[in-house]
C-alpha cells in the first residue's frame, strides 16, 4: 500500500466513517492516520473505532497511526431568561457568579479561574468569535466589559480569553479519564488541547511516559508566544486554525501557519495543518477553488500532514474528500516549483553528530543520484532526522518495533516497514537492498543509501552511512562507506 505522495493524510472518524467497510475505503483512498475525537466519542465507541482501524492495518499488513484528540477545558456562559438576548455594540455587559438567569445586561459565568486571572484591557470572545468585548473592570466576583462587536447571544455559548493566561491544567477530569482509556487501548498519538505553555506538555508527559507520542494543538495566543519551547517539548504540533482564528485576528493566521510549519521543520518535529481544509465537501462532492489552494499551500510549505475533520467524520462525501486531498498532494509534489519552494525554507542541521550524518545522507543521495534512503530505527529518531532534510527520493524506515512504525505514519516522506533487526552490518546492507528493490523504489544498478545507529538497536543514535548498488535480484553488487 505504497503512497504516491510524501505528505500524509489524517482523517477524523465519526458517524459517517465509523463502519468497518468505510474505514477500509478511506484507508485505500489514502488515509495514513485516523483521528478519534474524544470530545464526541464514548469509551465504548472509541474502542470500537480503535479495533476497526487495527483490523484494517492487519489485513493490509501496513502500519496505520491512531490519534486520540483530547477535548481540553471548555468555558461556557450560563443561561438567559429568554434563551437568547441582543447585546448592543458599545454597551457594557457584565459577567458574575450569580447563578440566576441572565438578562440583556448580565449573565452567570461559572468559572472562577477566569475571574482570578483576567485584567482590564483583556478581550473576551463569545460564540466562536461572533461577539467580542473588552474588559473595563474586573474583580473576584464580577467582570464588566465593553461590547466591541455585538449581536445575538444565546445560553451556554462558549467564551474564550485570548489575552489571559489561565492558571489551569490542560487536562480536565474528563480528559484524564479519556487519556487513561486511550493509553490502555494503545493509541499512537495523543493530541493535547488548550496548550498555553511548554509546562503544560511536561505535565502530560509525566502521565504518558513513552506509551504514546504527544501532539500539541496550537490554538492559543500564549502558545504562539512560547512556540519555540512548546515545539521543543512536543513530539509534533498541529496548526489548529479554527480556534486560533477565533482567538487571534483571522488575517494573522496564514502567517502564523507558515511560521509554525517552518519552526517545526527546523526542529525535526512533524507538523499537521488542520481545520476547514475541504469544508465545502461536507455537503458537496467538489471543493471550492480556494480550498484546493489552501491544501496545496500546506503541501508546498512542506507540512508533514494535512487533516480532515467534519469532512470525513460527518460529511456526505468522506471518501471523495480523501481522494481529492490525495490528488491535490500528488499534483503539487509533481509541480516544477515544488522542490524549489520546499528547499527555500530549509534550515541548518542541529550541531550534533547525528544531525550532521542525517544531513549528509540527504546530500550524498542527491549528489550520487541514488534511488532511496533506508533508515534502520528503533525509536524513529533516525527517520525524523533524515526526513527533516526533505530528501528528493523515497525514505524507507525499517524498524522491529510496531509502535514506532505506526507513529512514523504521520511523518513526511517515509514508508515504514516492520522487520527484525539485522544480524550484522553485512546483513543490514543486504536486507536494505532487498526491501528497497521489492518495494519497487529502486531498480537494478541503482543505489541505496543506508543509515543507522551502531550498535544496532541503540535508541537515539545515528552514526553510520553505507551506499550499496543492487543487481537484477535486489542483492547488493557493491558497498561503499
Q: Which of 54, 74, 76, 205 is catalytic?
A: 76
Could you give phi then psi for residue 97, rounded to 5 degrees?
-100, 15
Cβ atoms 364, 326 nearer than 8 A:
no
- Which of 333, 320, 252 is CA-nearest to residue 291? 320
Paired residues of 143 in beta bridges: 95, 138
Q: Is the dihedral of CA 307, 309, 310, 312 positive or negative?
A: positive
Active site residue 377: no
- Which of 285, 217, 275, 278 is CA-nearest to residue 250? 275
Which three cell numbers, joined as nine digits, stand for 100? 440566576
- Which of 197, 206, 198 is CA-nearest to residue 176? 206
Active site residue 259: no
Active site residue 217: yes
DSSP string, 410-451: GSTTEEEEE-PPPSSHHHHHHHHHHHHHHTTSS-TT-EEEEE
Distance CA 375, CA 429 (A): 11
Q: Assign residue 369 a region (left: φ > 0; alpha: ψ between -120 and 50; beta: otherwise).
A: left
Q: Which of 5, 35, 241, 406 is catalytic?
A: 35
DSSP string, 262-303: HHHHHHT--EEEESSTTGGGGT-SS--HHHHHHHHHHHHTT-
Q: Which of 164, 261, 275, 377 is catalytic?
A: 275
Which three cell numbers, joined as nine digits, stand for 190? 495523543
- Which of 252, 243, 248 is CA-nearest to residue 276? 243
Active site residue 76: yes
Q: Are strands 142-149 and 131-138 parallel, antiparallel or unpaired?
A: antiparallel
Q: Are strands 92-96 and 476-480 parallel, antiparallel or unpaired?
A: unpaired
DSSP code for 193: P
* Kind and range of the H or E run holding 346: none
Q: Which of 8, 217, 265, 406 is catalytic?
A: 217
Give the burial class of 269: count Cβ atoms within 10 A of its Cβ; 0-12 exposed, 13-18 middle, 19 or more buried. Answer: buried
Q: How far is CA 67 from CA 50, 274, 414, 415, 481, in A?
A: 10, 13, 18, 18, 39
Which three cell numbers, joined as nine digits, stand for 279? 469544508
Query: Which residues are catalytically annotated?
Result: 35, 76, 217, 275
Amino acid at each position: 500500500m505504497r503512497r504516491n505522495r510524501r505528505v500524509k493524510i489524517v482523517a477524523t472518524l465519526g458517524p459517517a466513517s465509523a463502519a468497518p467497510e468505510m474505514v477500509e475505503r478511506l484507508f485505500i483512498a489514502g488515509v495514513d492516520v485516523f483521528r478519534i475525537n474524544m470530545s464526541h466519542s464514548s469509551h465504548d465507541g472509541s474502542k470500537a473505532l480503535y479495533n476497526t482501524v487495527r483490523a484494517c492495518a492487519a489485513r493490509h499488513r501496513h502500519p496505520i497511526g491512531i490519534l486520540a484528540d483530547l477535548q481540553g477545558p471548555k468555558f461556557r456562559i450560563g443561561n438567559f431568561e429568554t434563551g437568547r438576548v441582543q447585546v448592543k455594540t458599545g454597551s457594557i455587559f457584565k459577567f458574575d457568579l450569580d447563578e440566576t438567569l441572565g438578562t440583556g445586561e448580565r449573565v452567570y459565568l461559572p468559572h472562577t479561574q477566569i475571574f482570578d486571572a483576567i485584567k482590564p484591557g483583556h478581550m473576551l470572545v463569545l460564540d466562536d468569535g461572533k461577539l467580542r468585548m473588552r474588559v473595563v473592570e474586573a474583580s473576584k466576583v464580577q467582570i464588566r466589559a465593553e461590547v466591541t462587536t455585538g449581536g445575538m447571544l444565546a445560553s451556554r455559548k462558549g467564551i474564550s480569553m485570548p489575552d489571559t493566561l489561565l492558571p489551569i491544567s490542560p487536562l480536565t477530569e474528563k480528559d484524564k479519564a479519556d487519556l487513561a482509556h486511550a493509553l490502555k487501548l494503545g493509541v499512537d498519538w495523543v493530541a493535547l488541547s488548550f496548550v498555553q505553555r511548554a509546562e503544560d506538555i511536561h505535565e502530560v508527559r509525566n502521565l504518558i511516559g513513552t506509551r504514546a507520542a504527544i501532539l500539541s494543538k496550537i490554538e492559543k495566543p500564549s502558545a504562539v508566544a512560547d512556540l519555540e519551547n512548546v515545539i521543543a517539548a512536543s513530539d509534533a504540533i498541529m496548526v489548529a486554525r479554527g480556534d486560533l482564528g477565533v482567538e487571534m485576528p483571522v488575517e494573522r493566521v496564514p502567517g502564523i501557519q507558515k511560521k509554525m510549519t517552518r519552526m517545526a521543520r527546523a526542529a525535526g518535529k512533524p507538523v499537521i495543518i488542520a481545520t476547514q481544509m475541504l469544508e465545502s465537501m461536507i455537503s458537496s462532492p467538489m471543493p471550492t477553488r480556494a480550498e484546493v489552494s489552501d491544501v496545496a499551500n500546506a503541501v508546498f510549505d512542506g507540512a508533514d500532514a494535512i487533516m480532515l475533520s467534519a469532512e470525513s467524520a460527518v460529511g456526505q462525501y468522506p471518501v471523495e474528500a480523501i481522494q481529492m486531498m490525495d490528488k491535490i498532494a500528488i499534483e503539487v509534489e509533481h509541480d516544477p516549483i515544488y522542490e524549489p519552494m520546499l528547499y527555500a525554507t530549509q534550515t541548518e542541521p542541529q550541531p550534533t553528530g547525528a544531525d550532521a550524518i542525517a544531513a549528509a545522507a540527504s546530500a550524498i543521495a542527491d549528489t550520487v543520484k541514488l534511488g532511496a534512503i533506508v533508515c534502520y530505527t528503533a525509536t524513529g529518531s533516525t527517520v525524523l532526522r533524515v526526513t527533516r532534510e526533505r530528501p528528493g527520493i523515497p525514505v524507507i524506515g525499517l524498524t522491529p518495533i510496531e509502535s514506532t512504525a505506526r507513529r512514523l505514519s504521520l511523518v513526511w516522506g517515509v514508508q515504514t516497514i516492520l522487520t527484525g533487526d539485522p544480524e550484522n552490518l553485512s546483513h543490514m546492507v543486504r536486507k536494505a537492498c532487498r526491501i528497497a528493490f521489492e518495494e519497487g523504489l529502486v531498480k537494478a544498478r541503482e543505489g541505496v543509501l543506508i543509515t543507522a545507529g551502531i550498535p544496532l538497536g541503540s535508541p537515539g543514535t545515528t552514526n553510520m552511512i553505507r551506499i550499496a548498488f543492487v543487481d537484477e535480484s535486489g542483492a547488493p553488487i557493491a558497498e561503499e562507506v
